[in-house]
Each structure stands twice: as C-alpha cells, then as structure tokens.
Amino acid sequence: MYSFMIFAAMFLTAMLAATAAVVFAHAAVQARARIMGAEVEESTDGQLTLLKEEAESVSTIRVWRILLERIIHVDTLKRQIAEADMNWTVGRMVLMMMMLAMLTASVLGSVEWIPGVMTLAAALGTGYLPYGYMRFKHARRLTRFSAQFPEALDSLARAMKAGYPLASAMELLAMEQPEPLATEMRRTRDQWKLGTSWEDSLDALADRIPVTEVRMFAAAVKLQNRVGGKLNDVLTRMAETMREGSALEGEIRSITAHGRMTGGVLTALPVGISVVMFVVNPEYMANLFQQPVGRALVMAAIVANIAAHVVIKKMSRIRM
C-alpha cells in the first residue's frame, strides 16, 4: 500500500512538471513567433522551414527530446505516427507507454500472490497499448486508402482523358474523394504548388503511404513525364488490376476465416473457463497462486496459450 502511495505521488509530481514544461515551451514558442512574425511573413522559405521544424518536432520538452533522439529510433516512430495521421509526438507516446507500464507494475507488485514474471509481462503488455493503438490506426488508414485508390485512379484517368492536366486532375481528387485519400492528394498538390517537382511530390506520397499500388502510380507518372504516352490508359489498367487483387484478397480472407475464428476461440476459451471457475469456486483456484508449483503452471499455461495463438495466426495468414 505504501509503495502504491509513493508511486502515485511520484506520478502526480511528474505529470505536473511535464505540464508546466509544456505550457512554458508553448508560451516561449508563441512569444518567439510574435517577435519574428514580420520576418516570417516576408520570407516564404523561412515560413516553410519553421513549419517543417515544428512538424518534425519529437517533443516540446527539450531535455526529453534530446534524450529520445539518443536512445530510440525516433525517425521510425515519427514516420509511423505521421502515416497513421495522428497528432501525437514521439515523446508523448513514449511517455504514455512508460506511465502505463509503471502504473501496472506498481499495482500488481503490491499483490503478494502474483509472481514477478507475471507482473513484468503485464507491465510490458499495458506499456505496449499506446504503440499498438497507433499501429491499429496506421493499418486501418492504409487499408482505407488502398480501398479508395482504384476509384481515384479511374477518376484521374477520366479527368485526363477529358483534357485536364495532371495538376487539375489532382485538384479534383483532393476536392471530391473521401478521406484519407483527399488529404494525401491535397498534400501532394500543395507540394507541387510550392515549387516541388511532380517526381519529388509523388515520391513523398509513396513515402507517406507505403503501399505497393502508390509506388506503382508514382512510377507510372514519372515514366510518362520522361517518355510520354497515354497516362489515362495506364491508370485505367492499374485500377482494374488493383480491383482484381482486392477481390482475390477478399476470397483468401473468406477461406482462412475459419482458421482465424478457431484461433480466437481457442485463445479465449481457457481464459473464460478460468474466470468462471474463479467465480464458482475461488478457494479451489486460489491454490494455484498460493503454491510455487501452481504459479509456475499458470505461467506455463499463459505462455503456451499466447504461443498457440501466434502459431495459428501465422498459419492462417496467406501472403499474396
């Protein structure tokens, strides 16, 4: 109990200190922006540089940013957060992961019958939650983009066939297509308007959206700019190929649905039975946690259950 109170006090102190640092940093940035406002407005390059530096900021706390840049892969995390279209910084996500892991370890560590290995595993699991949520958002956004991309290519091909140049066709996509495709097309168009070549703008699009179809689209546009040709016919064939690939992937998912459902049921079944037995006869189940052999068996069952779930998931996954 005392350890939990000490941790709670340390947690509140750290949060207050972090909040004060963020407020101070924000006030300093605002004051600096007001002082340099005239110079920034006069220089477009300076404004772009300032916005770029702000967008690429790892954390608003300078000490925390320097520490993160030294001990973890900041660029990878920053790229993944940007691809997920989240307004988090790397410092915020790492801080949430650390706080959740410390809170879980403090709460479970105060329970005598929970072994240390289980406490460590639970702390690592809860600490992974912010990163897992970011990965979920990242995967869902890429899936939505991939589903919208064939229709966008058809619209782009029809616009170019009607006589629109590539810039105007991209403008139509930015206005008419749903999110997240409209946002990415708008970013690509804005980069081109600010003086970046179409090749560099499309390369940046392929970097933000790491999907094979986007790389193929970028390569097709760059090849057309170099050697010429009917880009609308190429885009139409690409859209048809993407639809056929999506249909094939859906068919594969329907075939492997039974295996994935079986894996989920077999993973949840031991947990459900354990919860029911705890409710019906808690004294009987308490013996597992009171004896060293029982705790070892519980840990072995948890590890085996997780390993079985991973194996079944790997077996039911078919890469195209």
- Which CATH number do you get for residue 236? 1.20.81.30
Say how far apart CA 72 and CA 87 lie, in whole Å.
Answer: 20
Looking at the structure, tell me whether residues 154 and 245 fall in a common domain.
yes
Looking at the structure, tell me whether residues 221 and 275 fall in a common domain.
no
CB 185 within 8 A of CB 174: yes
Looking at the structure, tell me whether residues 161 and 271 fall in a common domain.
no
Looking at the structure, tell me whether residues 150 and 231 fall in a common domain.
yes
Per-residue pLDDT 10s for the chain (320 aa) are 444 454 454 555 555 445 544 444 444 444 444 444 433 333 344 444 444 444 345 666 777 777 777 776 777 788 888 888 888 888 888 888 888 988 888 888 777 767 777 788 888 888 899 999 999 998 898 888 888 888 888 888 888 888 888 778 888 888 888 888 888 888 888 888 888 888 888 888 888 888 888 888 888 888 877 877 777 888 888 888 888 888 887 787 787 787 888 888 888 888 888 888 888 888 877 777 777 788 788 888 888 888 888 888 888 776 65
Looking at the structure, tell me whether residues 193 and 122 fall in a common domain.
no
Asked if the structure places residue 320 within a domain, the reply is no
Asked if the structure places residue 85 within a domain, the reply is yes
Say how far apart CA 226 and CA 310 lie, in whole Å.
Answer: 47
Looking at the structure, tell me whether residues 22 and 119 fall in a common domain.
yes
Asked if the structure places residue 137 within a domain, the reply is no
Looking at the structure, tell me whether residues 41 and 123 fall in a common domain.
yes
User: Domains in the chain: how many in total?
Assistant: 3
Asked if the structure places residue 134 within a domain, the reply is no
- Give the end of a domain, one of 64, 99, 127: 127
Structural domain boundaries, residue 27: 2-127
Looking at the structure, tell me whether residues 7 and 120 fall in a common domain.
yes
Query: How many CB atoms are located within 10 Å of the residue 5 CB?
Result: 10
Asked if the structure places residue 46 within a domain, the reply is yes
